[in-house]
Amino acid sequence: MAYETIIVEIEDHVATIKLNRPDAMNALNSHLLGELSEALAEADKNDKVRCIIITGSAKAFAAGADIKEMSEKSYVEMFLSDFFGREGNAITSTRKPIIAAVAGYALGGGCELAMMCDFIIAADNAKFGQPEINLGVMPGLGGTQRLTRFIGKSKAMDMNLTGRFMDAEEAERAGLVSRVVPAKQLMEETRSAAEKIAEKSMISAIACKESVNRAYETTLSEGLLFERRLFHALFATDDQSEGMAAFAEKRTAQFRDR
Ligand code: CAA
């Protein structure tokens, strides 16, 4: 499928989706988010794909929602179109694991998109922020919700109210990103993580993803029950027998998603 604002490459079970609006710091307009939603749905359906990477350029993962597209919108237009609601849901309903590889600016909707992925690997030049307050608005894709759950109230308030940027080191300390790597090695390190995930049983990987995400939606006791039931259910798979047999036989497991 030919896209105009993203580039999709599939190699060795990993689909890499590169945001590609270089003249606008990868600002997220409706067209790009529509294409991203389609590409994610395609990757989810494609049996060859076992892990997905979303990335941007060396300068910008994405500098936010497209301010030029939004500037003339009225309340009624935003409300009736449920601006970016459908696209946000399309991204977070992707079942396969998604890694955000972030270099440069991840601001506003860009930071929010990275947080919709399953984890973030940051280049040492990455800068995260929710500067919407400087535009007389506020975040609309998770900047007050996911960010607060990830880094806690105090830092989330600081980011949202001052609009300041957080560098990669602070983002790792705060728990927003899983690891920081030298900018030049960002794609290599992210691909290596994606390839590791691609080797696992897709059934276990999807179950892990659903279970971690459930932690954000429910109480501890309900979450633990959900986790335990999924854990039990995995004993109905051939991959459980294979994984445990491979351990006993001191060989690498060959998972077949059954
Ligand atoms: N929307 C539209 N265009 C954008 C953009 C955005 N969010 N961010 C950058 N651009 C465009 C600039 O307008 C500029 O285009 P022109 O050359 O046509 O003028 C081009 O990208 C390069 O940008 P700069 O010249 O500004 O580059 P810089 O290096 O001086 O600064 C920056 C980079 C700090 C990222 C700066 O561009 C910036 O502050 N961008 C806006 C960040 C922002 O406010 N994001 C929040 C958006 S609102 C939102 O996301 C709502 C939500 O939660 C859903």
Domain 6-198 has CATH 3.40.50.11030: no
pLDDT of residue 188: 98
Q: Is the pTM of this model over 0.90?
A: yes
pLDDT band at 38 (very low <50, low <70, confident <90, very high): very high
Domain ranges of the chain: 6-198, 201-249
* Known catalytic residue at 109: yes
- The reported pLDDT for the residue numbered 95 is 97
Distance from Cα 83 to the centre of ligand 1, integer Å? 19
List all residues whose CB is within 6 A of at least one atom of ligand 1: 24-25, 27, 63-68, 84, 105, 107-109, 112, 131-132, 135, 139-141, 143
How confident is the model over 12-30, as pLDDT tens digits? 999 999 999 999 999 999 9
Answer yes or no: is pLDDT of 1 > 80. Answer: no
Per residue in 98-150, pLDDT tens? 999 999 999 999 999 999 999 999 999 999 999 999 999 999 999 999 999 99
242 carries an active-site annotation: no
Percentage of residues of the chain with pLDDT beyond 70: 100
d(CA 223, CA 128): 30
Strand 60-62 and strand 127-129: the pairing is unpaired
Give the nearest ligand 1 atom to 135 CA: 44
User: What sections of the chain are H helices per DSSP?
Assistant: 30-45, 67-70, 75-80, 85-92, 109-116, 146-151, 153-162, 168-174, 186-198, 202-214, 220-233, 238-248
- Residue pair 186/168 in contact (Cβ under 8 Å)? The answer is no
What topology does CATH give the domain 201-249? Lyase 2-enoyl-coa Hydratase; Chain  A, domain 2 (1.10.12)
pLDDT of res. 150: 97
As given in the structure block, the two tokens for residue 226 are 């959900």
Query: Residue 21: which residues within 8 A CB-CB, separation 6 or more?
Result: 5, 27, 29, 32
